[in-house]
Structure 1
């Protein structure tokens, strides 16, 4: 059991870092007004994005999902 004591400092540092990130991250987002967010979303949805190329059509997989071994002839 004593050999596991070397894990204690790293576990404490990890726990402290997780608490700090959880506390510091909750305040930093900032609130956006609902009307402003709706206007931004509306402008983004109205904007046309040109397509540069057509997506390739994937080849149909003819697998049945069952592995079948070829039959062997009896000697």
Structure 2
């Protein structure tokens, strides 16, 4: 138990630092006016219209990927005879 006494100073410093930072953080938060808060909430709840699906550029063929033939067994593709 005596060997753990060297941890006491670091624990005390850590706890004091956490309390000090927590107290400073409280002062930094000001009151937000109600109408500003309502505007922020409304803008956050609006659907984002800036994201649009991009269509492929003209001239590029749209191909479907090969379907996954997952059977639970690893199968090597067959070799072509040369």
**Which interval holds the TM-score relative to the shorter structure?**
0.5 to 0.7
Count of aligned positions? 53
Structure 1, unpaired ranges of 5+: 54-75
TM-score w.r.t. length of structure 2: 0.52
- 1:17-36 aligned within 5 A: 17-36=17-36
Give the distance between the partners of 1:22 and 1:40, measured in 2 at CA: 26
Give the distance between the partners of 1:52 and 1:8, measured in 2 at CA: 58
Query: 1:16 aligned to 2:16?
Result: yes
Structure 2, unpaired ranges of 5+: 55-82
**Deviation sequence 1:17-65 (CA, Å, 0-9, x none):** 1111121111101111011121233244265231356xxxxxxxxxxxx
Instruction: Identify the range of structure 1 (2-11 vs 41-50) with the bigger mean alpha-carbon deviation.
Output: 41-50
TM-score w.r.t. length of structure 1: 0.56
- Relative contact order, CA 8 A, sep 6+: which one is greater? 2
> If you compute each CA radius of gyration, which structure gives the higher value, 1 or 2?
2
